[in-house]
Copies of this chain bind each other. A is one copy, B any other.
Amino acid sequence: MAEVTRRERLRAATELEIRQHAHRLLVQQGQDAVTLRAIARELGITAPALYRYYGSREDLLRRLGKDICTDLATELDGKLDSVGSDDHLTKVFTVCRGFRQWALAHPREFALVFASPTGEIGGDEQIRQDEFGSVFLGILGPLMAEGASLASSEQAPADIGPELATNQEALASAFSHEGIEMPPEALGPDAVHSLLRWWARLYGHVALEVFGRFPFDIRKADRLFESILSELAHEAGLGES
């Protein structure tokens, strides 16, 4: 009956507990406080025991990042459901606002996942979507598939076409790798261009706001953020909401 043995249950429970304590340490005291010894201390075991679960501290942090991404994606999906609108623009806005809201509420998680210089710089040639833009892709992808109207009006500059065409393949394979079916007609250069623009602006604003790195102290960036959304919508040929 029990396909899972006692040991497997215990192992799963311990692994979960490790990640929970690691996450708590991250939230409460920041990335540097997520030490193997601290986690082990809270679990009532010794540090070397953690090596039965993760190859290194780096490994654990990577896994933690993935978990956080999953949480974020789940939260954004939830908001998308709860808003319950079929309007394309409303959905996109919901995701963008949700992302900003999440980042402001979880600055340390955001820093770990979205601003860690861990990724090797001149890195590998293959697609690197590990624990980052996959969230963006996973949410925006279906939206793009649903309404290819995104980027229907403002077309990408003519001379950028070939450049984006190659990216088009990479994007398609990234989507399929994520298990998302994308109709080819939704992946024209314009769509790719638009997607990149959304992501860069959204990320830029949110990162600057979370890190308090605007050139001066912005008291409330809500308005600025909304104006950015309006701009994007306008440029994408979607009516103002």
Instruction: Using CB atoms and an 8 Å cutoff, list the residues of chain A in contact with chain B.
Output: 30-31, 107-108, 111, 114-115, 117, 119-121, 123, 125-129, 132-134, 136-137, 156-157, 159-160, 163-164, 166-167, 170-171, 173-174, 193, 195-197, 199-205, 207-208, 210-220, 223-224, 226-228, 230-231, 235
On chain B, the residues within 8 Å of A197 by CB distance are 228, 231
Structural contact, A227 and B127, CB atoms closer than 8 A: no
In whole angstroms, how far apart are the Cα atoms of A227 and B154 in the complex?
12
Contacts of A220 in B (CB 8 A): 163
Is there contact, CB below 8 Å, between B123 and A214?
Answer: no
Q: Residues of B contacting A215 with CB < 8 Å?
A: 129, 132-134, 136-137, 171, 174, 195-196, 199
Closest to A123 in B: B212
Q: Are B227 and A200 in contact (CB under 8 A)?
A: no
Contact of A115 among B115, B127, B134, B202 (CB under 8 A): B115
Q: Pick the contact of A203 from B167, B195, B208 — CB < 8 Å?
A: B208
